[in-house]
Amino acid sequence: MVTILPSPPLSRLPPPSPPGARHTRHAGATALVCLPGAGASAGLFTGWEEDLPATIETFAYEPPGHGLRTDEEPHTDLDALLADLMDAVRPHTARPLALLGHSFGAVLAFELALRLEREGTPVSHLFPIAARAAAGRTGSPPGREPTDAELKARLRALGGTPAPVLDSDELLQLLLPAVRADFALTDTYRHRPGSRLNCPVTAFAGADDTVVAWASVQAWGACTRGRFTAHRVPGGHFFPFSHRPARADLLRTLADALDRRPDTAPDRPDTPEHG
């Protein structure tokens, strides 16, 4: 079962997985922390542990205002959101730690990794999924607040929100405050030139993704001094959540990357690898 971060009250926890879905994890298992993209919640990662070995324990971060934390105000300040994220992840930093983010969640994972490395906490690996690289993002100054209709149109264009939700004014009113805050963070994010990680980065892109260009995914190579690999796989922007075989292939590649011994990696990843 995927563990939600930060730990929600027992009354809010989802029902337990059936016995057959439970996995016994190794004591020193790598903690894989997964971050959802704009407007999404930790529930996206439900079931991911079924496709991972016992050497990896899966966690999913629930941002304020989303999912099990809908009674909290969503953050519109990046530093405040990262402080909340750091508090959620810090209890798991005594063991190997890998970070995965979908779409803008990958940028949050990158910024989290920078802060962890500055604190002296190594990150084993960063996995950006269907995400435009942090490097080169210049952001835009805050403009006028978008209308509900504009937010709805943007969600529809992204393609990850179920039609029944988009067609329900009641459900949308519950969703839009978090979406508005997340899109504001996404649109105003500015990468600090020279900010680079030391850990390996393995990026994934959907071959049919109409939201994020392949070149933008390849640009993650400029975000690290470590090994960089990019994989282009079948599917669109939400391929890990819409197609179980695609997700299984992604997680198999991820597990192989985390199992790679240090002596198999080159000193510098000057040329991205494509799988």
On the question of a cis peptide bond just before residue 6, with omega within 30 degrees of 0, the verdict is yes
Q: Is 242 a catalytic residue?
A: no
Return d(Cα 252, Cα 146) in angstroms, integer. Answer: 40
Q: Is 103 a catalytic residue?
A: yes
- The three-class DSSP label of residue 123 is coil
Answer yes or no: are the C-beta atoms of 254 and 127 closer than 8 Å.
Answer: yes
Tell how far CA 65 is from the center of its chain. Answer: 17
Return d(Cα 4, Cα 246) in angstroms, integer. Answer: 23
116-142 exposure pattern, b = at least 16 Cβ within 10 A, e = fewer: beeeeeebbbbbbbbbbbbbebeeeee
Q: Which of 41, 103, 124, 216 is catalytic?
A: 103
* Catalytic machinery residues: 103, 237
